[in-house]
Chains A and B, each alone.
Chain A
Amino acid sequence: MPENTSHEEPDLIQLLTPEGELVEHPDYPIDLTPEEIRGLYRDLVLVRRIDTEAVALQRQGELGLWASLLGQEAAQVGSGRALRPGDMAFPSYRDHGVAWCRGVSHKSLLGLYRGVTNGGWDPAEHGFHLYTIVIGSQALHATGYAMGVQRDGAVGEDGEAVITYFGDGATSQGDTNEAFNFAAVNNAPVVFFCQNNQWAISEPLERQSRVPIYRRAAGFGFPGVRIDGNDVFASLAVTRKALQSAREGQGPTLIEAFTYRMGAHTTNDDPTRYRMSAELEEWRLKDPISRLWAYLANTGLADDAFFASIEAESEELAEQVRRDCRSLPDPRPLDIFTHTYAEPHSHLDRQRSEFADYLASFEGAGTEGGR
């Protein structure tokens, strides 16, 4: 196996083993209350449940597409919970766990994949920008936003930090590399959070990079770290520290969360064509939820009643997700024109008016058109 796909990297930061045992790390102490740890467990279970339901809804024809986060819950929830309310996140399109942490409802995410909107939430309200589908583009937006934070004088101990999410495939994009460079040159308060899930659709990591992704940061002049992406404690602690460093004016950090895409790239993909199921079995043993369950159970920080209550909440949420998805209203035909420009545009005004007349010509002629 090439070096860059080895998960035996000595530099991998892990605070919770797959067996659910804590690992002491001098730079990343775990200072979480039992309440917070139980909260993380709840987050992981519920975002996985939303994801499971969404895949099923796609199979039932209720969604056009879904990009599953299965296996990446810890990377997303840990880093998402490291953010402060005033921080800003720039996601890709699989970051439903971060969305959850930022208070973006599942209904908004479903709207995007059902095709009722191309956005779906107010980025400023949630500190969570719209999903970005063109790979790597958002890394530059995050960097520019962070340059704005600098110009607002919002850098400092209680300052604001910016984080952007992308995958291993995105590290091949020019935009991602330009973002690394712009951020470094400007010392911008931004954290680059790469979820290396080993696969960019059908292309394994060795088709993207000759070096471990986190080491690329050194070439741009800022620190890069690799974490066990299935370890919610590591994700939270390392991201929190990187955000704090950005906040305080120390510039960017690249975090490579070493994880695995347990599902297909999207519901349109068929991974049996390009990867071995043995690989999946190996990663199943490192499941992010099982290890936290083991930790909570073994230490007595949670009892059966707690796990049962989360299970019940998960069932309720699943029901809600199904209901919300089916009840999403379709947009109206003239909504096509509404938000292309902020200010009037004569071409569009004319087209809208002509199309409205055309639609009106069917009124009273039945639903088939009537020509």
Chain B
Amino acid sequence: MRYLIFLFFAVPQSAIAQASGWGNVGKAPEPKGFSWTDPLWPDFWMAWTPATLVIFVGIFAAIAFIGILEVWKFHDGLTRKGILGLTTTFGDRLFITLLGSVYIFLAWLGFIGQPVWVPLFCSIGWGIIVFWRV
């Protein structure tokens, strides 16, 4: 009788355990799809994720692109005096864009919070203004 009572409680328990993945211990995990936020190379100390990698590749690509433009197309990076009264080149404008974007994002996060779509569009707008007028 005691044995039956034990079985009565144990059988559903084991079914629940099975359903929640206890039976998968020791099996190879199923391959997951690509995710922007998963570690790119697990166990590597720099802890890259695809998202952060893309940001840095973007920044370096922008610098390289500006360098190429200055060497072959526009010498001195179209130096001009903009609305802030600063004499800027392409590189200066990129720097002002990036630094300004950082502050737009930080201000948004500090005062309003996530998500950050609005500051993203603000930053793009800021970049256009900087390359156009500053």
Tell me, yes or no, whether A binds B: no
